[in-house]
Amino acid sequence: MKQEIDRYVQGLESAFFTRKMRPKFHFSSPAGWMNDPHAPVWYHGEYHLFFNYYPYDTQGIRPKCWGHAVTKDFTSYRLLPTAIAPDSEYDRDGCASGCAVVHDDKLYLIYTGRNYYRRPQEVQCIAYSGDGIHFMKEAKNPVVWPPNPSQKDFRDPFVYRKDNRWQMLLGGKQGKTPCLYRYESENLTEWSYGGIFATAGAGDGTVWECPSLHETDPAPILLLSPENIDGVIQKSLYFFGEKRADTFYPTGRREIDYGCDYYAAQFFQSPDGQTLVNAWMHKWDNDHLTRRDGWIGAMTTPRTFFWEPGGKIKGEFLNSLKNLRKNKSVLQNIKLGPSRNYPLAGEKTSFWMEIFLEWNHWQGTCFEIGLLTDGTEKSGLWIRFEKNLSRLIIENHTADHQQCHRLLPLEPGFWRQNLHMDILVDVSCVEFSVNEEIFVTDCVYPAQYDKGIHFCKSDRTPEAFQVVLYDMEPAQFSFQMEA
């Protein structure tokens, strides 16, 4: 089955490079449907990327395999042969989400095997490789079964090392209450049940998916993707709290990204010890126009994730992406007014823009940025800072699903600091950050496939306002699948 998939995907190489809405420096589905990108893992001098994948159509309901690619710095990618496929009784309906870890110089994949004609429907399985390319499934599969055989939700293993033992967290339920189960192992193939690691409180959703844990000072951070939370079908949130006796007690939560299209986020580590996070640039109920081109799904660009003195969590786009920047231009002395839009980037389709504005030198009440528009305010993505109402509004006029209109209250202290925005536009993808604290990810489709216009405007001209613009080179993408 894996060889058949690889031959099919390689035959679509030319179609991949001619997709009209394909992002140029984001990793997107090589063919068909792609969902959850599992946390990249550093092995033998490269990051190994794994992702749920069905290359034959874009419906997202077929049994998934695990696609596989490698990169050194997220500026070039090389596809490798399909890692695992649903070819066994315990995963006949899909090799669902999971993670990868390195143990005794082997690369292990821990994933959820699905069989909807069996009880339980979801079990946890192992595959391993000595070269990072060719994987064998563990003879003892499945290696973890749910406490209750009739349980339906029991998936998305996250495995990490602690106290010389492997720990596994799994999304599940106790009755109707979402929870995380914990298991322990010395060798990754024999696991013992360790109890409930965390339990949802009131309003914390109906299902917890894709857990990921970052143990740091001053407190551990639990990253989750709950369903049906805050009136929204899917979100990615981080919970902060305290950990006592191998149990996590949440004391608060916050969205890690406020956009329409950010889900299944996962922590991972760089070789130099940085904590990074990436996610799926899509959600299950969002219908995207890339379906016309025969593909669905992309990965976000990785971001750092760190504590600042005083307890703030902040981040920034991965520094190595700056290697793709070229043709720097600086726009200064920009005159804005309520009756005209100031052109920012012409009809460029892939660029990195930095915006600097000193709020204390600005007497206006509304500052707006329009991206991938046709020149009107009812198209593309609009970002609006309303100082008089102390809020940020994000409107994606190319989407018709939950969260395409977001209103974020801003604290009074926000207006006492200078504004710094990093905006990444990539054909049909937009990611931006505000002061390294607010991140937004949206798929945005210009009125015409190959162009969009970018503006800013304000009801007053800021005295201290600067825009720095870089073109972005495309990331290299190889279909050779060489061993």
Q: Which residues are catalytic?
A: 36
Count Cβ atoms below 10 Å from residue 311 Cβ, excluding itself: 9
Cis peptide upstream of residue 120 (ω within 30 degrees of 0): yes
At residue 224, φ and ψ (nearest 5 deg) are: -140, 160
Count Cβ atoms below 10 Å from residue 447 Cβ, excluding itself: 16
Which two tokens mark 465?
């306002």
Q: What is the bridge-based pairing of β-strands 191-199 and 221-229?
A: unpaired
Q: Are the beta carbons of 311 and 72 closer than 8 angstroms? A: no
Which two tokens mark 137?
């499934």
Report the C-alpha gap between 123 and 301 in whole angstroms.
31
Report the C-alpha gap between 384 and 381 in whole angstroms.
10
Count Cβ atoms below 10 Å from residue 378 Cβ, excluding itself: 9
Cis peptide upstream of residue 412 (ω within 30 degrees of 0): no
Report the C-alpha gap between 30 and 188 in whole angstroms.
31
The alpha helices in 25-82, defined as continuous H runs, are none
**What angle is formed at CA 189 by the lines to CA 183 and CA 191, rounded to 5 degrees?**
25
E strand residue ranges, 245-320: 247-255, 263-269, 275-280, 295-296, 303-304, 306-307, 313-314
